[in-house]
Amino acid sequence: MLTKLAGGRLYDPANGIDGEVRDLYIHDGRILHHPPPGETPGQTFDLDGKLVMAGAIDMHTHIGGGKVNIARAMLPEDQRAHRRNRTASTRSGGGHAAPSTLAAGYRYAEMGYTCCFEPAILPINARQSHMEMADTPMVDTGGYAMLGNDDLLLQLMSEGASQETINDYVAWTLHATQCIGIKVVNPGGINAFKFNARTLDVDEQHPHYPLKPRDIIRTLSRAVAELGVPHPLHVHASNLGVPGNRTATLATMAAAEGFPIHLTHIQFHAYGTEGDRHFSSAAAEIAEAVNRLKNVTIDVGQVMFGQTVTISGDSMHQHANHHHAHPHKWTCMDIECEAGCGVIPFRYKDKNFVNALQWAIGLELFLMVEDPWRVFLTTDHPNGAPFTSYPHLIRLLMDRSFRNDQLARIHPDAAAMSLLGSLEREYSLYEIAIMTRAAPARILGLTDRGHLGSGARADLCVYRPSDDAERIFSSPMLVFKNGEVVVEEGRITRPLQGTTQVVRPEYDRAIERRIGDWFDRHHTVRLANFGISDAEMAEGIGSPVEVHPCRPRSVT
Amino acid sequence: MWKTELTASTDHLTCPFCGLACDDLQLEHQDPNGPIDIRNGCETARNAFTQLMAAETRPPMIAGRPVALEETLERCVSRLREARAPLFGGLATDVNGMRAALSLADQCGALLDHVNSDALFRNQLVQQDSGWMTTTLTEARNRADLVVLIGSQWHERFPRLIERVLSPPEALFTETSERRFVLIGPNESQAVPAELRGCIQNVIQIENRQIGALAGLLRGLVAGRPVRADAIPDVNAETLLTLAEQLKSASYALFVWSAAELDFPHAELTVQALSELVRDLNQTTRAAALPLAGTLGDITVNQVCTWQSGYPLRTDFQQQGPRYDPMLNRHQDILARNECDLLLWIAAIPGGGDPPSTDCPTLVLGHPGLLLERPPEVFIPVGVPGIDHPGHWYRSDAACPLPLGQIRDLGLPSVAQILTQLGQRLAQTAQEETPC
């Protein structure tokens, strides 16, 4: 059937369209700009100037995997306070900071999101991540496999293995775990914590291996580029949350030596040590570096006030921060000679100096990084705040007077130390569409998503215009997934299951002998049971894969 | 690996008979439905495979009378439709079995609890109340230099723990010959496994109920507080003082327990005391807990329940959404208080015993060899995950879901297939009943 969307105001930055009124057609799950010859629309939506954008893409959200499930299990109070009842078309669930998979999928779709990426998949736990995401309805999913603390990589690097060998291991990992990118969390640091190190700076030597975090960043960012994985190495830098960590963040950017690098939740890595409390914003310095270094992209990890839970692979810094747990319970785990995790419930308070300044630092970064194609809208769900706060965050970016009203409420010393009040920038709808649609699709290599061009997948949403951006983005009028209406007036009308987005760089299979030997000698899982096949994804896990192409790159 | 074709020969079969989930079993058999030769597994695994393969396959039955599968399905649907407060118990199944159980429970307002939940919740309540620091099998195998073994049943319940984790041929970061062991529990000295005898540093003879107090005392000693090391009768003060020092100087102390044997009221407080000792040690050195569990799929179904509903087991869906109560929703008490009007018991993995005796109508999905003392209203034979159909299940450490293979084809449906069918039929009858 042909569907016509008549008279919508289109925001499609990938194709340079900024608020033009145009008709769109949907045919066989794809967007068309003209009806196919001889076809007349079976269904027409008269949009009358309503805002039309591609489905939103969250490129960094902790929605599936072992540590997310630990958070759910630890926080029945979070579920109890946010129950979501069964309806005729949707199943029950709940939760706010650590929502159930079902509740997360429904809520994402109700906000106009059609694609979400779990940024920290522990290879041994990849099955669980994919099973949880398969049970997250409405959205397509994907994930980044964690390397850089696994003993096999560190051993290979310590032995002086060639870059080609490392590349083969990285590619093998992507295949085995059915992932679309590579993530490194506190490079070497999670591993060092197992040797009882409590910090590991970028140029500090690991307590066991003759390596520094800088070496890991350089090697992995190069591997990802040479393999042609579209998404740059996704980096949770060293020294998360530590005052003065700006130097580590800048050193991490430099460590990529010109290869593409994505620094995630950079708000948590943009701290100075100025002032009476020895905690200050380094947002200006970090933003200046991002503006200058074209190989660098970031997402912010904005903090919002209220109860949440922090879940991270960074067991080293999660353990260091366990005293801040609210409510006072916390879990840390060492996992399978691969990495670890830490789960700490946390309440950000606007009257707390540090939390208030974290909030301001995130917004400063958004407003001072000039190129919206290189800064992504995240709260590092749920670490800075649950993803449900995105509409509020968008209003903070688009509405200066609203932002300044909020600024007036936070701890006055934090407000006084922040540049935020002086920043006049207001994001446009076009720029919001860049950072939530066009740019994430581009940086992940999803060529048929994040835009409204002819032939694009018909994942799109229709919003009612309003002066209040929070209202616009809280509740779209219509959401289409694969060309079907799935949400009307912010409510699910048609539940569906998504697919898993992966890449498959080529590699020399000889590496599997080396990996097999390592497994036989040291692991408690057989290599043959480690990798996930396409048939297992489709039939057992319940989320078939879609493969996206790789294109090898060099230094930019 | 997800295989729907039969495996005639493999060296990486995953064993579904205890929480260690050894995935290196070697299997040889010529005739897919004939006898099999299993190597590499423990005696428990070999016996379980052999018994299961030899067991007579029982047909679908209503009140002990063999009937067509269709008839049992229809009876289940009508019982589920009538029920106001169904209880889904047992739950010895794989990931997809539990996914289907949760979907059906949401649909008909059921309560879910596992046959092993008493043991499961001794650990779960601690994670929920205070959190803990744990590790996994590979990490423990390669890193531990001091191992504290709690209780006395861990090696019977998890037979290959010594071979695969505690005493492997080599380890990455310690000399396995220098690894030291401390036994705390009701251990008869002659019962210490032979493989460990040369490396035992201490055996502390103590009743399981006293272990919580001992852990508390060790916390005090580790922290340098003025506690009396001789406060526990029959436990030598010097031994405890030495142990506290050894724990502080270890690089990676490992605490191993099986909550199933801590079978006394409020044993979660014992687990908590041990967990707090581990966390205290981490202020200055590294230590981690390795709670052993997972047998009969308890970790598996708890994981799936947690991600789909947001809560662990002992969750019910009677009021249109999930409600969790680890105390009130204990299935044994629900049955004793007559707070359910239908029992759906799932026992796809052998070893969980009979369904509890109750006056409620009882529907059983059981492995094909399940012999019941009293015939339930409905019995449906289902495949054993890992033998009759592929699947997934979790190892003890909750971080490693492993693929289960298929080694024979008797045409048995999986739990997931039966429950999905019931759900579809139930939805259909509900639609037909809705007036237009």
The CATH number of residue B401's host domain is 3.40.50.740
Cβ contact B173–A208 (<8 Å): yes
pLDDT for A406 equals: 98
Cβ contact B138–A73 (<8 Å): no
Domain ranges of chain A: 2-54+453-492, 146-444
Residues B84 and B180 in one domain: no
Cβ contact B127–A319 (<8 Å): no
Tell me the chain A residues in contact with residue B392 when contact means C-beta distances shorter than 8 Å: 127, 131, 540-541
**Which helix (DSSP H) or strand (DSSP E) does residue A60 occupy?**
none
Look at residue B411 and give its three-state secondary structure.
Answer: coil
Query: A75, A198, A344, A529: which to substitute to probe chain B, counting the most B Cβ within 10 Å?
Result: A529
Tell me the chain B residues in contact with residue A537 when contact means C-beta distances shorter than 8 Å: 2
Distance CA A516, CA B127 (A): 35
| Average pLDDT score, chain A | 97
pLDDT for A257 equals: 98
In a domain, B275, yes or no: yes
Cβ contact A84–B321 (<8 Å): yes
Q: What kind of fold does domain A146-444 have according to CATH?
A: TIM Barrel (3.20.20)
Q: What is the pLDDT of residues A308-337, one digit of tens each?
A: 999 999 999 999 999 999 999 999 999 999
Residues B302 and B218 in one domain: no
Q: Does A404 touch chain B (CB under 8 A)?
A: no
Instruction: Please name the member of B1, B142, B321 whose beta carbon is closest to the beta carbon of A85.
Output: B321
Tell me the chain A residues in contact with residue B405 when contact means C-beta distances shorter than 8 Å: none
Tell which CATH architecture fits domain A2-54+453-492: Roll (2.30)
Instruction: Please name the member of B106, B134, B165 whose beta carbon is closest to the beta carbon of A86.
Output: B106
CA neighbor of B101 nearest in space, from B253, B277, B317, B246? B317
Tell me the chain B residues in contact with residue A86 when contact means C-beta distances shorter than 8 Å: 106, 317, 320-321
Out of B132-136, B142-146, B229-233, which region has the weakest mean confidence (pLDDT)? B229-233
A501, β-bridge pairs: A142, A546
Residues A272, A316 contacting (CB under 8 angstroms): no
pLDDT for B338 equals: 96
pLDDT for B8 equals: 64
In a domain, B318, yes or no: yes
Cβ contact A329–B130 (<8 Å): yes
Residues B172 and B255 in one domain: yes
Residues B286 and B349 in one domain: no
Domain end call among B293, B325, B360: B293
Range of the domain at B314: 59-116+296-433
Look at residue A422 and give its three-state secondary structure.
Answer: helix
Residues B72 and B144 in one domain: no
Tell me the chain B residues in contact with residue A529 when contact means C-beta distances shorter than 8 Å: 1, 12, 14, 23, 402-403
Across residues A354-378, what is the average pLDDT? Answer: 98
Residues B237 and B105 in one domain: no
Cβ contact B131–A526 (<8 Å): no
Residues B329 and B424 in one domain: yes
pLDDT for B436 equals: 47
Query: Which domain CATH number covers B131?
Result: 3.40.228.10
Residue numbers of A between 36 and 75 with CB closer than 8 Å to B:
64, 66, 68-70, 72-74
Query: A75, A315, A525: which to substitute to probe chain B, counting the most B Cβ within 10 Å?
Result: A525
Q: A270-277, long-range: CB within 8 Å, 24+ apart, which pairs?
A: A270/A245, A270/A246, A270/A361, A270/A365, A271/A241, A271/A242, A271/A243, A271/A244, A271/A245, A271/A246, A271/A361, A272/A243, A272/A244, A272/A246, A273/A243, A273/A244, A274/A417, A275/A417, A277/A353, A277/A354, A277/A413
Residues B281 and B335 in one domain: no
In a domain, B43, yes or no: no
For every residue of A239-299, DSSP letters joined together read STT-TTTHHHHHHHHHHTTTS-EEE-SGGGG-EE--TTTT-EE-HHHHHHHHHH-TTEEEE
The residues, ordered by sequence, that sit 6+ positions from B340 with a Cβ below 8 Å of its Cβ are B85, B86, B87, B111, B334, B360
Cβ contact A100–B4 (<8 Å): no
In a domain, B178, yes or no: yes
In a domain, B157, yes or no: yes
Domain end call among B274, B293, B312: B293
pLDDT for B1 equals: 45
- pLDDT at B184 exceeding the cut of 70: yes
Residues B130 and B146 in one domain: yes
pLDDT for B190 equals: 61
In a domain, B261, yes or no: yes
pTM: 0.97
Domain end call among B240, B273, B293: B293
Indicate the number of domains in chain B: 2
Residues B141 and B274 in one domain: yes
Position A555 confidence tier, pLDDT thresholds 50, 70, 90: low
Q: What percent of chain B has pLDDT above 90?
A: 84
Residues B287 and B385 in one domain: no
Size of interface A-B (CB pairs under 8 A): 201
In a domain, B5, yes or no: no
Tell me the chain B residues in contact with residue A131 when contact means C-beta distances shorter than 8 Å: 95, 304, 307, 392, 401
Residues B139 and B190 in one domain: yes
Instruction: Please name the member of B95, B286, B307 whose beta carbon is closest to the beta carbon of A194.
Output: B286
